[in-house]
Each structure stands twice: as C-alpha cells, then as structure tokens.
Amino acid sequence: MKVLIANRGEIAVRIIRGCRELGFDTVAVYSDADRTAPHVRLADEAHHLGPSLARESYLRIDKLVDIARRTGASLVHPGYGFLAENEEFAQACADAGLTFVGPSPKAIELMGSKTAAREVAIKAGVPVVPGTKAPFGEDAPDALLVTEAERIGFPLLVKAVAGGGGKGMRSVAKAADLLSAVRTARSEAKSAFGDAAVYFERRLIGPRHIEIQLLGDAHGTVIPFVERECSIQRRHQKVVEESPSPVLRPDVRLKLAECAARVAREVGYTNAGTIEFLVDEQQNFYFLEMNTRLQVEHPITEIVTGIDLVHWQLRIAQGERLTIDPERALTPRAHAIECRIYAEDPDLGFLPSPGLVRGLRIPNGPGVRHDGGVAAGFEVPTTYDSMLAKLITWGNTREEAVQRLGRALAEYRVVGLKTTVPFFQWLVNQPDFIDSRFDTTWLDRVLTERRGQPFVAPSAADEQDAVIAAALAAWFRAHGAAAGSPVDGRGAWRWAARMDGLR
C-alpha cells in the first residue's frame, strides 16, 4: 500500500519514516524549489507539482489528487500547514476514493472555523475566552469592527478564522490601532490560507498556552494525552514546547484532558487533533481552538508517552480501533523539550535568512531527537516557512532535559545560514526559563527589553579563535587558488574547492 505525503520539509520526512516503519510505500511531491529536498530523496517515489509558489504547487488539490490516482496511492497524509486543515482537500480525496489521513471534511470545516469551534466548546460545557460570535468577512464595515472591538474590550487579538502558527494574528492595545491590525491580519491570512475572514478575542493577562493532544477512532473512542506547554512564543508563534507542563496541577491536567475529549466527542472527531487552552495564574482554563491535524510539536508527546502518533494516524485512517491504555497516554514517563530551529537571524530581529546550507552537523547522543527537513547542499527557499528542523531533548526531569538541550545546541552546526540556535543557547541559561516563570507574553517582553542586544556575546578567547579561523580560511583560499602550487592531500583539494565555491 502506498501513502502520498502532501507536504514538504521536516514533517514530510517525519511522515515518510512512520509510513516506512509500518511497511507502506511512500509518494512524495515537490515544487521547483524542492527537487533535491530531503523528503524527495527519502521517498520511494516523488512527483513534480509545479512552480515554487505554494498556491501553484503544495496547495494544488487537483494535482495532488491526480498524482495519488496515477501512482496508485490509497492514503493521503496532509502533514501540517498547506492543505492539512482544508476540508475541500479532504473531500476531494474522499471523492477520488482516497483515504485522507485525518478527520472528516465536516469536522475540519467545523473546528477549522475558530468561531464555530468556540460554539462547539460552549455546547460541550467547556469554558471559552470572550470574543466575537460570527467572523468578519472582507466586506465588513469599519464601523462594525470598531463597535464589536469595543464591546469585547482592549487589549484584544485579531485572529484569522482560518489561521494558525501566528499567521494572520495581531494584538491590538487600543482602538486607534484596530483597523490597521485588521488589514495586516487579513492580508497575511489571505496569502497564507486563502481566506481573509477574521474575528476578535479578548487577550487574557499572563496566560499560559497549554494544549491536549488526542486521538479518536472511527468507533467512538477518544484518547487524550498528557498536556504540552507552549507558552514560549514570539509574535504568537510557538518557539519552545515542552511536556509535561512544569506548572500544571495533576487535577487540572485531568480536567483539561476530560474537556478536550468532550469537545472531540461532540463532533465525532477521528484521527489526531489538538485542543488548545489558555490557562491563567489560578489555573482556570479556557478553550482557545482546535487544530485538526498533527502538530509541529507532536514529538514531545511521543517521547513522554512512548506512543507513535503517526503510526496511529495511519492505523486509525484504515479503520483500526485504538488500543492505547488511557492511563498510559496521561502518564508522562519523561520530560521532553522541543526547540524550533528557524532560518532566522536572532540578532537582526529574527529576520528570515534563507540560502544555501553549506554544512550541517546534527546533534546526537542520549536523549536527543532531531526532526529535520534540510540537508547540506540544499538551498532553503524563500517561499515557505523558515523552520529548518526541530531539536528535541528529554530526561527523567525537566532539569535533565534542559541540560541536554544546552549540550545538544553546542553540538549543532548549520553552516551558511543564520539560525535561531544562538537564541536557544541564550534561552536555556535564563533563570526565568530554568525556573519555568513564563507566560505567553514573556518572550516578546524580554525581547523588547533587550533592544536587539546580541544573544550570545563572544569572550576575548572566542574572538581570538575567530581571528585564527578567518585567517586560516583566507590562507587556504590563497593557496588553493594558486595554480601550479597545489597543497598536498585530498582534504586540501576539497577545501580549496569549497572555498572557491564560496567566493
């Protein structure tokens, strides 16, 4: 049996691995920019979708369905992002006789609309954050936007109805900033999700973002998992996730799990999904939204429970019954932390830094997992999300996991691009991080206070090492380039060739 993976990057690689472990053949798809991407090289077969622009490649439902048909794939895994939460895609797969590895089109539609999902949560008796009932379409008059915003009160969040990953979301502190925030949120949402509708939600003070992973099968069983804490966020985008939460009380964990399962049952949810909550200082919690897909941060749940979520996605899609012990899913066996490694320059306000990966050394050893989507020699495109990889470490305690993270980050080398690795090296040494004193606003606040100060400052000894390295690099280049006086050894030739390539 074959699975078509309708995605790219690290998640396509992750899914191919899961498929292969269960004995499925894998079909990758790629755009012009991704011909030599790891997911293409790893799959059993790969088919071209079109130009680099996502809407001409990874968002082309017609082409994806056609490739699935032509290759004889019987399952389609959407990953996250792109078409993962697009009910038309799920429906198109069903219409073509393909099994979509995810929930029903109806569940995607219902829970994908953030406003409708809130209604579901209210019906299931789960508390929600105060906000607007119906979404605002593109033609909603400014006066209505202002009236509704004032009814909810500031500060508030403008959120894309189809949004995710911090895209199409803006925080508004006062009425004067509302309309321009709505414009940017719409413009971002339109280009990222093809839907410009937005809604408003009250912004809670000092909240933590805590979410519950769950699996549902076609026979009515829903299994909630131990929570993930994702409060370290930059501009509403998760940067670090960990499981279990370092602060959640065990009784609240059980209540969250129970509420999450109730929401899922309310809509007859199948396959993998995540219910996100905001939790305040008193550990009151509010339903935020549901993600009807596999999450970026799913590995930490796999590590602390020992349950492979991608395996279960594939098994559930084929009609299998969930046989996971609910107790096991709710009992963490370790503490796991994930860092999202982005091609961004942390010392330049996290500006995107696409380009050629000239070298890559991936951390390894005890308690380390690396889910990556790039290889040395691959040109990171400007067209897609800038996440290169996820670095996950775990230990018996949070302290052990944090120590491992520091060790693994020091081993990590991504050559040729600026990445967020130095930022994480700074983060793991912050007392607030070490002592788990943070909420969803912590990182943005700290970054503002730092005013662009570099995350890791070199010592005098570091500077000396850098001087030596740069001088030696220049020396080798001078010698490699001098025709007729080659230096000996294969290493020298490789070096000269590489240095030549850099000029």
Partner 1 sequence: MTFEIEIAGHVRTVSIENVGGVGPDGRFRLTIRDAANPGAEARPLTLDARPTDVGLSLLFADSGRSVDLAVTAQPNGEHFVQLPHVAVTAIVEGRRARRGGSGEASGSGEQRLMAPMPGRVVRLLVKPGDEVAPRQGLLVVEAMKMENELSTARAGRVREISVAEGQSVQAGQLLVIVE
Indicate which residues carry an active-site annotation.
Answer: 293
Cβ at position 176, least distance to partner 1 in Å: 16
Please say which residue, 154 or 495, places its beta carbon nearer to partner 1.
495
The candidate with the shortest Cα–Cα distance to 145, out of 135, 192, 118, is: 135
Rounded-to-integer distance, Cα 172 and Cα 155, Å: 6
- Which structure tokens are listed for 36? 């030599």
CA-based R_g, the chain, Å:
24
156 has which bridge partners?
172, 202
Please say which residue, 134 or 410, places its beta carbon nearer to partner 1.
410
Coil, helix or strand for 337?
strand
- Which structure tokens are listed for 78? 């959407």
Cβ at position 470, least distance to partner 1 in Å: 4
Q: How far is CA 404 from CA 276, 366, 372, in A?
A: 27, 8, 18
Cβ at position 311, least distance to partner 1 in Å: 30
Residues found near partner 1 in the complex (CB under 8 A): 167, 184, 187-188, 191-192, 343, 348, 351-354, 358-361, 376, 382-386, 410-411, 413, 415-416, 422, 425, 456-459, 462-479, 486-489, 491-492, 494-495, 498-499, 502-503
Cβ at position 481, least distance to partner 1 in Å: 12
Please say which residue, 319 or 458, places its beta carbon nearer to partner 1.
458
Rounded-to-integer distance, Cα 270 and Cα 261, Å: 11
Contact 96, 69 (CB under 8 A): yes
Contact 316, 251 (CB under 8 A): no
Please say which residue, 193 or 269, places its beta carbon nearer to partner 1.
193
CA angle 240, 162, 440 (to 5 degrees): 30
Cβ at position 484, least distance to partner 1 in Å: 14
- Which structure tokens are listed for 151? 């009814």
Please say which residue, 326 or 352, places its beta carbon nearer to partner 1.
352
Cβ at position 188, least distance to partner 1 in Å: 6
Rounded-to-10 torsion of CA 486, 487, 493, 495: -120
User: Where does residue 265 rank: exposed (0-12), middle (13-18), buried (19+ CB within 10 A)?
Assistant: middle
Q: What is the distance in angstroms between the CA of the first residue and the CA of the last residue of the chain?
A: 47
Rounded-to-integer distance, Cα 406 and Cα 331, Å: 26
